[in-house]
Structure 1
Amino acid sequence: MPIGTRIREGELAYEKDDLATALLKANAALQENHNSFKALLLRSRVYLRSKKYDSAFEDANKLVQIAQSSGKREDLATSYKQKAIVLYRQKRVSEAMEEISKAHTLNNKDSECLMFKSMIEKKLQTDAQISVNGPVSDKEKSLLQQASKQKPKVDWYDSKDMVNISIYVKNIPPTTLKIDFQKTSVSVDFKTNENTDFSYVLDPLYGSIIPSKSSFKVFGTKLELYLAKETEETWKALEKMETSTVSQETCPSTLDYPSSSAKKINWSKFKVDDAEEDSSQDPDVFFRKLYEGADDDTKRAMMKSYLESNGTSLSTDWKEVSQKKVDIAPPDGVDIKNW
């Protein structure tokens, strides 16, 4: 049997939680090629879900080595993400933050990576507040500060012929600033006063711009970008997400969530089966269940609402979420603390 077939069968078994079959198929594929990235990734995920964390971590380390040897950027990002998830499950949060930051740097378009990174940042922030658990280490403080610096506030508004973007970073060294305006993309790179690299990329933009008429201005507290629109079309977001045409489910259900998306989610099928563990402690299960059956608009709504609300709100309605920033909504009795 071809190795690709074994891997596909293993992945299908993994999605059905048939871990014994998935492991059997992964091992069979690795016997044919012990450096198969997909087979090794599958086995690491199987070990992780089976709570064999040491084995999952060993395979994740091998994934990093294979990706580094092949020089494939996307594979390297995936391997760092897998390693971070295993470390998080082992409660090695600081190390998980280091690995997920590497993954995000290599592939900042990975929505799962971005959400998991946000979860780790929140965990570090929570740990920093709980004094009963002892003082926070210097390493954790450094990672927490780094996480805060990597996520500056970004505001934007759309007018008839211009899109204005404000990136709130203080005292940007002008000599290190590089801004590239393209018809369908914008990139910003500079070094902060702490000599750390900052990168902000929008690709593809929601609409086309005229690079020659676009400009920027540096202020003491922020950087402003002025994107000259090619048409007067209203921008509903800064970036355009590729969408696929999906046929609507033929069997209506009273549990279908109202949405502007072409496809609805039947919430009667939305289950988290690892009942003995909080899903926040199992990001592998959390991500799989969160995105299962969701279309692109729903995923965008989930990502935007989760990140903007600092993890306190989750919406699937892109039509509503896209129009405004989602406010932080802490539970009763919990105060918002600025970091």
Structure 2
Amino acid sequence: MASDLAAKAKEAFIDDHFELAVELYSQAILIDPKNSELFSDRSQANIKLKNFTEAVADANKAIELDSSNSKAYLRKGTSCFSLEEYQTAKSAFEAGSTFAPEDTRFTDWIKKCDKCIAEENGELTTQSSDVTSVTSNSHQPEKTDANTKDAEEEKNISSQVITTTPPKPKYRHEFYQKPEEVVVTIFAKGIAANRVYINYGEQIISVTIDVPGEDAYIFQPRLFGKIVPARCRYEVLSTKVEIRLAKVEPIQWTSLEYGNNNVVAQRSNVSSGNQRPTYPSSKPTKDWDKLEAQVKKEEKDEKLDGDAALNKFFRDIYKDADDDTRRAMRKSFVESNGTVLSTNWKEVGSKMVEGTPPDGMELKKWEH
């Protein structure tokens, strides 16, 4: 029974066996996939394992099943906060507080989000005592449910280091970008549109593909740059899911996902409407204009002998010639069977050009 598995999962959670708790909650979800509380509780276990992206996905599912589940909003908010998704976290806390106005944890977290958002925007000049008191021991929120470690987690979570190791993906994905958007493609064939769930944060996307009888595919990267959720969209096609992310700034993303080693992004040149999209590559970037100039210089400086030199000479003449000269060269060469090459259109334009074989050779016409 799902309830028995959930009870064992809670015991494992209390005993700090968080991986076991996640496994037991997962088994319970297979039996009762419409139970919002199971997803909410698994979200908290994932938070303990610092699997914050998985925790957000579980919280989103819990909210989808029960929009009044205040614990799910709380866990979504704390996970997003750890991912430095402060605006998304604040929205989750504000939504959750409407269903549990007596729970002071929502108010405390909203203040922390406001502080971090202000710091990001360079607007914070002073630190108020009521904000710093959020993390003090004197303001410990009351523990009200079976997961007795919630309050401790919510007090310390902002100082945790993200060390998630994502599982091997079920579907392959890639991306390319334009100055104003990033297009992410997930190669999943034959997926029904109603089995795809996508949520957007300020710098995160949550993609869930839930195929009956299979483990759900979850893709939830923290993005290289910030996006505008209201302008993002996706389309489910027969062979893929295409997601279009609207950039906040027209900067060049050096990767899809954020990382500590990311280099500073360069602002994209948006003056040209015909700019080609750029694709990710592990190979060093090549300066194609420089390579083209180098090839042209090598061709120009190339020393050839015999027929090769003569052909190059004729090619250079033809390349720089006007239309009449080119017409004369083509007509004379074709009509003379390759034995005459004239550049004078007035001379060859009004008559048939007879072949002129080299000395010691005879021109013959082939019978068909």
**Superposition TM-score tier, normalisation by shorter sequence:** 0.3 to 0.5
TM-score by length of 2: 0.33
TM-score by length of 1: 0.36
